[in-house]
Structure 1
Amino acid sequence: MSLQNHNVASIARVYRGTFVHSTREVALNILNDFVLGVDSRGKIAFIQEGGNVDSLSQEWGFDTSDVQNLGQHEFFMPGMVDTHIHASQYTYTGTALDLPLLQWLETYTFPVESRFQDLDFARDVYTKVVKRTLRNGTTTACYFATIHTDASLLLGQIADDLGQRALVGKVCMDHNQMVPHYKEHLSESKDETLRFIHELLQKEYPHVKPVVTPRFAVTCSSSLLQALGEIARNYDLHIQSHISENKEEVEVVKQLFPDCGSYTDVYLRHGLLTHKTVMAHGCHLSDEELMVFHKSGASISHCPSSNISLMSGMLNVRKVLDHNVKLGLGTDVAGGYSPSMLDAVRRAMDNSKALTMRDARVQPLTFEEAFRLATLGGSEALSLDDQTGNFEVGKDFDALRVNVGVPGGPVDVFPGDDPKVILEKFLNLGEIPWRYHIFLHYIWIIYHTQFNTFLA
């Protein structure tokens, strides 16, 4: 396949080797000896079998001597998508995992987030978390910031400066019994949300957009939820929040919204459950609620690390998939102790196996399915699959170049290890990178496994 109009953009780069990605039909598609062309806009112009390179060079006007050939143990995979991460909680990542959700928020989260009115503090934290996630192969992230508008705008600027695709949300909350001083007035929350949206959109960042962000129903009045639903509809924006993470939280929501039939019904009635909505966790959703998710087109972000770390519960991923609900993975920093999506992949598989041990009728996730959740599944969950998630022609070349054969790396390769085995080893054994370089609008990330990221 190639673009119908070759004059749209010239070919900037051509790669030949192994490409692994997911499609809507299969969880893992391995393309051995394929050639992929990237045009000057960073879009995938073609991807065809390597034997066609000569005809492609004539058709597209590139020199075959300029083709970059991948090594024996190298492959390209799509950049990973973190569908739920709290950038503002990064300072205490890897600590403070001794309490359940609501007590954890009161003790650790809200006091730290209140500090983000200090823009110097915010700049330091947000720069570090964006760099860290990029160094871990996260080319797309859906961020919670805080209630502070200027700091949230700063997060968007930093993501753009460093080349990460991001949805950035200024948190909204006008009801907070846990830490009463950390909240906004209803009118302030609405006005500041509109200011955040207007100013971020005016920046015209190519890969950074606002996302409407009610923290969760526990901290938002019905009036605020209604207003945010209207804002999201009027501006055709993404929406993110939390749902059914913890049983105590579910009971609190029942008390706060007695007229609603379920936690899901709270968001549905307030116009916050759309095809551009991603809700984190969903551990305790009923079958009826999952049917509402499917009908509305809303998605779930599975956060297996924090679900265990905060003792919230375990999401039955198989049930979600059986209900044809869009599903991606999230690190949920800092409830999740690691900013690495590779960790999220591993924890997702562990969680599903734990559920199978409890109930043999539950089919555990395969590594191929977990790979899909971290890539194409995440882009679908964020309604960004028209731009990224796999190597389809016309999408951005948003990719990781992985070499598991680097001397001293965490992966040992043996004769007969084919690309599928190599991918599985990388997902289970890949490590955190030790240094990174930034060139123009492309991010090059060097792993112990020679892990490079290209974000067009």
Structure 2
Amino acid sequence: MSPTKKSLFLGSFVHCKSLDELETRHDAAVFVDEHGVIVAIEQDMDLQRAKDTLIPQMGWVEGEYAVHMAKKGEFFFPGFIDTHIHAPQFPNAGIFGKSTLLDWLLKYTFPMESSLANLSKAQMVYNRCVKRTLSHGTTTASYYATIHVPATNLLADLCLSIGQRAFIGRCCMDSDMSPDTYRDESPQQAIEATKATISHISSIDPSYSLVSPILTPRFAPSCSSELMTSLGALHKETDLPIQTHISENVGELALVKQLFPDIKDYTSVYDSFSLLTRKTILAHAIHLSDDEIALIKERKAKISHCPCSNSSITSGTCKVRQLLDNGIDIGLGTDMSGGYSPSILEALRQAVLVSRHVAMGGDDNTKLSIEEVLYLATRGGAKVVNLEDKIGGFDVGKEWDAQLIGFGADISDEEGATDEINQMDESPVDMFGWETWDDRIAKWVYNGDDRNTLAVWVKGRLVHEIRK
């Protein structure tokens, strides 16, 4: 990982100005200080003009700053924010058979997670997971780990050393809904283990500037009432964020009703244990009632939409438009390995397609646009993880979490095609030179992958680069 230094970024910049509006700036310059913070954005600026004007005004000295220039057709875009991902499940990506949620947990998930008590195996899995997600442009990830403190601490260490912004959650699960071989021994032991991980992360990143702990009751059926009560109290004491699952599968809803018969609904279960707050990330939220949506809005809790997983394990289709119309903050999650891909770009296109399946029910307004899903992946995700003041867009005062996107050569005519044909393998997206910028973004969303992510920065540090 390269060290952080002052940087000047030149070229085209694209980000979400609002939920339904992209802003594109060409011939622009973004100045990032040694702390990774954007200190100036200027239009109609090339390198020479920057050297003649702003750089002297800011007191920057030649040799003390790096210059990064996007080539013609390339653009800088904010880093993606994965609001729901299971790091220990990375080896299982794409493996779910014909299972539904509860069967899938028992057959695939719990055995894999349990095996990561072996630290050498955890090192291999977590190292590859962090590097793979970074290569796809994920600059921030809200990770579920396992119940194991040493392995969870290792994940935090790796994120910090490699340079990915992360929330690290040691899974809490003490009920007999979990296997005897993979559960917390007691509510007290679960809380002590959680505090041990909090202490470790506080020791390696005291201000949580890059890595933060996050309280992680796996989901209500896996936690006793005593454990959830204690986690609610710990949240009040520490103000740490919370992540959990909700309303993912109809069988899960029936199970929650069976386990908590005196509580009105699934959302109220978390609320009754003080786990539904402005810092709570609720993954899935597919089968919510109107009352539950109203309660989530009232508590200002957030939702992670995981379209790949919801389809892969046949959980259902989330009504994202309804949630947005109710003013609820939503981000995107890969939910790997319920979702088959570590790529938020894949989650983007699946979110669009799932919204069209919802629309087939008769309401065309439920369809999501490319602009909207890009917002969910950036500014929306930043709100979900309560970092909207730091990340999600290119604004003065925000930190430089960004990716450089490129498509290889434009093949604009027959002669050009002959000259450039050997460069076609560089990108899965074919550009011909006549596309508008809206066209280029659409092609990237629907056809792109990590080969288009040429470089990635987190807090101003270069953390991934495709070397040629």
Q: In the alignment, which residue of structure 2 is the partner of 1:423?
A: 441
Residues 265-274 or 62-71, more deviating: 62-71
Is the Cα–Cα contact under 8 Å of residues 403 and 455 in structure 2 kept in the other structure? Answer: no
CA deviation digits over 1:402-439, x for unaligned, max 9?
A: 11234322222233323222122111111234999999
Q: In the alignment, which residue of structure 2 is the partner of 1:196?
A: 197
Whole-Å Cα distance in 2 between the matches of residues 428 and 209 of structure 1? Answer: 32
CA deviation digits over 1:319-365, x for unaligned, max 9?
A: 01001101000000100001111100010000001111122344300
Whole-Å Cα distance in 1 between the matches of residues 165 and 343 of structure 2? Answer: 16
Q: Normalised by the size of structure 2, how large is the TM-score?
A: 0.89
Task: Kindly report which structure 2 residues correspond to 1:302-341, keeping only aligned pairs within 5 A, or say none.
Answer: 302-341=305-344
Pick closer, same or farther for the CA change 1:109–1:424 going to 2, 3 Å: same
Is the Cα–Cα contact under 8 Å of residues 406 and 452 in structure 2 kept in the other structure? Answer: no
The residue type paired with residue 93 of structure 2 is T
Pick closer, same or farther for the CA change 1:195–1:422 going to 2, 3 Å: same
Does 2:36 align with 1:33? Answer: no
Aligned pair partner of 2:15 in 2, 6, 21: 21
Residues 430-439 or 271-280, more deviating: 430-439
Unaligned runs of 5+ in 2: 410-422
CA deviation digits over 1:219-261, x for unaligned, max 9?
A: 1011111111111121110100000000010111111111211
Pick closer, same or farther for the CA change 1:358–1:25 going to 2, 3 Å: closer
Describe the SS at the equivalent of 2:154. Answer: helix
Whole-Å Cα distance in 2 between the matches of residues 435 and 362 of structure 1? Answer: 32
Whole-Å Cα distance in 2 between the matches of residues 82 and 335 of structure 1? Answer: 14
Is the Cα–Cα contact under 8 Å of residues 321 and 327 in structure 1 kept in the other structure? Answer: yes
Describe the SS at the equivalent of 2:17. Answer: coil
The residue type paired with residue 428 of structure 2 is P
Is the Cα–Cα contact under 8 Å of residues 404 and 422 in structure 1 kept in the other structure? Answer: no
Is the Cα–Cα contact under 8 Å of residues 76 and 405 in structure 2 kept in the other structure? Answer: yes
Pick closer, same or farther for the CA change 1:326–1:438 going to 2, 3 Å: closer
CA deviation digits over 1:24-62, x for unaligned, max 9?
A: 465422222221101111110111212584543343245
Is the Cα–Cα contact under 8 Å of residues 18 and 31 in structure 1 kept in the other structure? Answer: yes
Pick closer, same or farther for the CA change 1:97–1:326 going to 2, 3 Å: farther
Pick closer, same or farther for the CA change 1:376–1:97 going to 2, 3 Å: farther
Task: Kindly report which structure 2 residues correspond to 1:342-361, keeping only aligned pairs within 5 A, or say none.
Answer: 342-361=345-364
Task: Kindly report which structure 2 residues correspond to 1:30-429, keeping only aligned pairs within 5 A, or say none.
Answer: 30-51=24-45, 53=50, 55-62=53-60, 68-184=68-184, 185-204=186-205, 206-406=209-409, 407-408=423-424, 409-429=427-447
Whole-Å Cα distance in 1 between the matches of residues 127 and 191 of structure 2? Answer: 27
How many residues in Structure 1 have an aligned counterpart in Structure 2? Answer: 439
Is the Cα–Cα contact under 8 Å of residues 162 and 438 in structure 1 kept in the other structure? Answer: no
Whole-Å Cα distance in 2 between the matches of residues 410 and 167 of structure 1? Answer: 31
Describe the SS at the equivalent of 2:366. Answer: coil
CA deviation digits over 1:59-107, x for unaligned, max 9?
A: 3245899754322201000000110000011111111232000011011
Pick closer, same or farther for the CA change 1:260–1:171 going to 2, 3 Å: same
Q: In the alignment, which residue of structure 2 is the partner of 1:454?
A: none
Pick closer, same or farther for the CA change 1:387–1:434 going to 2, 3 Å: closer
Is the Cα–Cα contact under 8 Å of residues 404 and 455 in structure 2 kept in the other structure? Answer: no
Residues 183-192 or 67-76, more deviating: 67-76
Is the Cα–Cα contact under 8 Å of residues 97 and 335 in structure 1 kept in the other structure? Answer: no
Residues 59-68 or 253-262, more deviating: 59-68
Pick closer, same or farther for the CA change 1:346–1:244 going to 2, 3 Å: same
Whole-Å Cα distance in 1 between the matches of residues 158 and 362 of structure 2? Answer: 45
Whole-Å Cα distance in 1 between the matches of residues 388 and 42 of structure 2? Answer: 21
Whole-Å Cα distance in 1 between the matches of residues 456 and 395 of structure 2? Answer: 25
What is the Cα deviation at residue 188 of structure 1?
0.7
Is the Cα–Cα contact under 8 Å of residues 79 and 137 in structure 1 kept in the other structure? Answer: yes
Is the Cα–Cα contact under 8 Å of residues 455 and 462 in structure 2 kept in the other structure? Answer: no
The residue type paired with residue 287 of structure 2 is H
Is the Cα–Cα contact under 8 Å of residues 404 and 454 in structure 2 kept in the other structure? Answer: no
Pick closer, same or farther for the CA change 1:405–1:437 going to 2, 3 Å: closer
Describe the SS at the equivalent of 1:22. Answer: strand
Describe the SS at the equivalent of 2:116. Answer: helix
The residue type paired with residue 227 of structure 2 is L
Describe the SS at the equivalent of 1:23. Answer: strand
The residue type paired with residue 270 of structure 1 is F
Whole-Å Cα distance in 2 between the matches of residues 15 and 190 of structure 1? Answer: 45
Is the Cα–Cα contact under 8 Å of residues 27 and 371 in structure 1 kept in the other structure? Answer: no
What is the Cα deviation at residue 160 of structure 1?
0.8
Whole-Å Cα distance in 1 between the matches of residues 57 and 238 of structure 2? Answer: 41
Is the Cα–Cα contact under 8 Å of residues 137 and 453 in structure 2 kept in the other structure? Answer: no
Pick closer, same or farther for the CA change 1:62–1:422 going to 2, 3 Å: farther
The residue type paired with residue 210 of structure 2 is H
Q: In the alignment, which residue of structure 2 is the partner of 1:5?
A: none
Pick closer, same or farther for the CA change 1:230–1:401 going to 2, 3 Å: same
The residue type paired with residue 60 of structure 1 is M
Whole-Å Cα distance in 2 between the matches of residues 438 and 289 of structure 1? Answer: 38
Describe the SS at the equivalent of 1:134. Answer: helix
Pick closer, same or farther for the CA change 1:27–1:258 going to 2, 3 Å: farther
Is the Cα–Cα contact under 8 Å of residues 319 and 355 in structure 2 kept in the other structure? Answer: yes
Whole-Å Cα distance in 2 between the matches of residues 125 and 336 of structure 1? Answer: 17
CA deviation digits over 1:137-174, x for unaligned, max 9?
A: 11100000011111100000011111100000000011
What is the Cα deviation at residue 178 of structure 1?
4.9
